[in-house]
Amino acid sequence: MKELLLERAARYGDKIVLVSHCFTGQRGVTCLECGDELIVRKGEQKKHHFCHRKGSECVLSSGGGGDGETDEHKAAKIKIANRFNQSDNMTILQKVCFRCEKRTKLYNLTEYRDAGYYAVNEYKYKDKNGNDRYADVAIIDNSGNIHIIIEIFKSHATCEANREGCVWVELSAFSVEKNTDDHFTCVRVPCVSCDACSTIIATEQAYLKRIYDYREMPDFQMDEKLAFLFFKSKHASRR
């Protein structure tokens, strides 16, 4: 099986760089995680990549991928990063929620690349709660600022509290594997609701359940019209 090597970013001086920006034997290229100097490998047999020196204990020195990560998941995030850095016409279609009428948005990722941004795998960031996390694919500028995070969808979508405050899209590993035209669709299209609307839906369902329960309990019967008006006023107050 072909070895899967992630598209890593590194630091050179005050800039964030890819291996394509460097040359074999270049000194002063350091790891974003541990700060150790990296080896730039640009041979003819393997994909060009950075690597740590033997004996490194850096969490990124093993080649990446979380515990239990499948080859399909790893291959998908490598493909997305590679396609961003190489494609002349890459897009992602995103729609967050039907319920609150957030509109579909088409991101032309080639415009980001033409502006000097690039894609890297396993890029460290802090989520909205201040916890360290690693993006499957991050679109960054040469100062290291994240503009888009692309996560490979596994069993469930990432809750909004665990995201960084930037554009966030999720793609299924299967759709990435089968893609041949560089036009991708976020797994939240179509979706029922975003996280905020899901909370409202859960509340609405609880009210409806109470109404139907009261129908079956003579001692607690409610006037259905009053119940409807009560429910409607509660729903309106949340808008």
Strands 118-126 and 105-108: unpaired
Q: Is 199 helix (H, G, I), strand (E, B) or coil?
A: helix
The verdict on pTM exceeding 0.75 is no
- Phi (first) and psi of residue 18, to 5 degrees: -100, 170
**71 Cα distance to chain centroid:** 18
Spatial neighbors of 25 by CB under 8 A, at least 6 apart, are: 40
What's the order of all strands across the beta sheet hosting 118-126? 118-126, 132-140, 146-153, 167-172
CA distances from 96 to 101, 133, 201, 238 (A): 9, 22, 15, 19
Q: What pLDDT, in 10s, does the model give residues 104-161? A: 678 899 899 899 898 988 888 887 778 888 889 999 998 889 999 998 876 555 665 5
Q: What pLDDT, in 10s, does the model give residues 76-104? A: 888 999 899 888 889 998 765 666 655 56
Spatial neighbors of 239 by CB under 8 A, at least 6 apart, are: none
Residue 233 has pLDDT above 90, yes or no: no
Strands 91-94 and 183-185: parallel
